[in-house]
Amino acid sequence: MVERPSISSGETMKMKKGMFMAIHPESFITKEANAFCCDNFLVTDSGATKLTRTPREVFIV
């Protein structure tokens, strides 16, 4: 599922102050395992502010 504005070459909607952006990259490693993360950002006057507080590291469960 993708909601606008998206990060793609054909996107015409502009990012504006106060907009929320969630980035969900996913990588399939095997049929049984995959890697998924989520970073959330709020667009401000000075750029995007990262809201996600989870450390940027690989977690092995």
In this predicted structure, what is the pLDDT of residue 23? 84
Distance between CA 32 and CA 16 in Å, rounded?
39
Q: pTM for the full model?
A: 0.67
Tell me the per-residue pLDDT of 1-60, one tens digit each, with 9 for 90 and over: 678 888 889 999 988 999 998 887 777 677 777 777 788 999 999 999 999 888 888 777
